[in-house]
Structure 1
């Protein structure tokens, strides 16, 4: 019989840390005059997190045989046969229903539309998109960018083009780092068919391009911003640079141990970087 701990692990609540991307546009949007209503925002954020858990369960159901060949993923509840597929399917349906109900309760139509696009793209990923080189990376990255758009939708703000460019580049960097780790770990096409279309050299070059784009886009965003105080615009740029370089460092130096996105997102170095960026941003906005 499945334990509650295994069912919880199947939902991957630690991956809810990706919700940071939902919070990314908030300081700038509120400073621009957008109204933050805590209850609808919390409902939308929690609902989207539950939808992401439903996606993880669905993907594990689809990937169970592949996961049993993976050195780490074989310990997942489904792959390790600690949770029956029928029970996992029920959990997926419950998470999906509750998540959609909460996003709908936020009374933000744009947020519901974003949630439906997120589910559609992840269905495409799970049903075969993850086996197509480059398409798999773009579908992974889209989930992060949709979180940024969700944050804007929940407070009725229009996303900045520079912020979208920065978050897109950062999301692609994370997705490429994940694929690079798969390649370096020696996982062949038998586990991840899309790896046949990648080389380590290509992934290193693509990651360098995305890293440079993310830093430059954020710097240009700070320069172009109408809400940051004069003389304080670039306070957050060093923190963004640190965070991007930390992704590159982990991907290149710690690749043999695997680049687990959820593990990286809760690393102490990144946590300090995020706190530092938030403080620098609030100071730049004149809030501190």
Structure 2
């Protein structure tokens, strides 16, 4: 055998390189990590603070706009506090999850003690500032929101049905806080419509997640603690029931005045029922398909739903203006 052949035989075998896993953490330091942990994509939910003032036609002054901007910032800070504390608490479990391991706290971009400290500071500052800049009841609502959400992170997310009720209540408190901050009386039909509308979206989200998990290893690996405990049939029943109640409550709300302004061109408030029902039916298409797992994506990306929403807003706005 030639010297060259001997050298080839003596060369140690190269082990195949293992494919590198993508780094969970994105670029940036702790400040960027804290911002990512605050979930900027979820801030759109806090626009619900405009719901009560808009329904009452109280968005026509600079003072109102400034006050609502303050309320939006305070509620965003309170929600960010919950996200920070939740991610710090679940850091170990998130590291074993294929998606949640990319969260800044789980990835090591933000130390857990920093997330706890910043979350606690934001929570305290938000509630105190709400009481000082708005009124005591606004501060109480933010305190209730923080208490319920932290209880959810620690315990209530493991209690069947209660977990959906807590998330729904979070949306309802968002819709209430704008009216409370401005001293606007809240209609009972407004509260029922908002509450069951929120339950409709929450149950549709759970249903979509359950449908997507059905074909994956018998439902193992669910991203929520109770997702395997719910059946798709039960979740379908909940979102259908909630949608029906929300539509009925809205219709009663629209008809509550018993008529329309004599100077108005058309009965806009009553006509807005058509757009509202169409919006619910359109969203139900995605819920039925099991693709409503990210409500903000459905609302922002579906053009038909966006057009229906604009038409509804225009009709309701004309009703409030008495045109």
Matched, 1:276 2:311: yes
Structure 2 gaps of 5+ residues are: 1-27, 214-218
Task: Kindly indicate whether structure 1 or structure 2 has the higher relative contact order, using CA contacts under 8 Å at least 6 residues apart.
Answer: 1
1:34 Cα deviation after fit: 11
Residue in 2 that maps onto 1:107 = 134
Q: 1:154 to 1:35 in 2, by over 3 A?
A: farther
The 3-state SS of whatever aligns with 2:56 is helix
Q: 1:283 to 1:2 in 2, by over 3 A?
A: same
Q: Residue 22 of structure 1 corresponds to which residue in structure 2?
A: 49
User: Is contact 1:25-1:152 (8 Å) kept?
Assistant: yes
**Residue 286 (structure 1) aligns with:** 321
Instruction: State the match for 2:197 in structure 1.
Output: 170
Which residue of the partner structure matches residue 22 of structure 2? none
Q: Give the Cα separation in 1 of the matches to 2:188 and 2:312.
A: 20
Aligned to 2:276: 240
State which of 254, 257, 278 in structure 2 corresponds to 1:225.
Answer: 257
Mapped partners of 1:68, 1:239: distance in 2: 44
Residues in 2 aligned to 1:5 and 1:271: alpha-carbon distance in whole angstroms: 31
- State the partner residue of 2:301: 267
Q: What does residue range 194-233 of structure 1 map to in structure 2 within 5 Å?
A: 194-225=226-257, 229=261, 231-233=267-269
Q: Quick one: structure 1 residues 90 and 173, their matched pair in 2 at CA, closer, same or farther if it must change by over 3 Å?
A: same
Alignment partner, residue 75 of structure 1 = 102
CA distance in 2, matches of 1:25, 1:226: 21
Please list, as runs of the form range in 1=range in 2, the aligned pairs for 1:26-105 lying within 5 A after superposition. 26-30=53-57, 37-105=64-132
| 8 A contact 1:229–1:286 mirrored in 2 | no
Match of 1:155 in 2: 182
Q: Distance in 1 between matches of 2:248 and 2:61?
A: 26
Q: 1:58 to 1:167 in 2, by over 3 A?
A: same
Separation (CA, whole Å) in 2 of partners of 1:32 and 1:7 = 33
Please tell me whether the aligned partners of residues 145 and 164 of structure 1 are also in contact (alpha carbons under 8 angstroms).
yes
State whether residues 44 and 102 of structure 1, in contact with CA within 8 Å, keep that contact through their aligned partners in structure 2.
no
Cα distance change, pair 95–246 in 1 and its aligned pair in 2 (3 A): farther
Distance in 1, Cα, partners of 2:182 & 2:260: 19
Query: Following TM superposition, by how much is the alpha carbon of 1:10 offset from its aligned partner in structure 2, in angstroms?
Result: 0.5
Stretches of structure 1 that go unaligned for 5 or more consecutive residues are none
Task: Determine which structure has more spread, i.e. the larger CA radius of gyration.
Answer: 2
In the aligned structure 2, how far is the partner of 1:192 from the partner of 1:198? Answer: 11
> What is the CA–CA distance in structure 2 between the aligned matches of 1:94 and 1:254, rounded to whole Å?
38
What TM-score, normalized by structure 2, do the two folds share?
A: 0.78
How far, CA to CA, are the matches of 1:235 and 1:74 in structure 2? 48
Structure-1-length-normalised TM-score: 0.87
State the alpha-carbon separation in 2 of the partners of residues 96 and 152 from structure 1: 21
Name the residue aligned to 1:131.
Answer: 158
2:15 equivalent in structure 1: none
Residues 178 and 260 in structure 1, CA contact (< 8 A), matched pair in contact too: yes
RMSD: 2.9
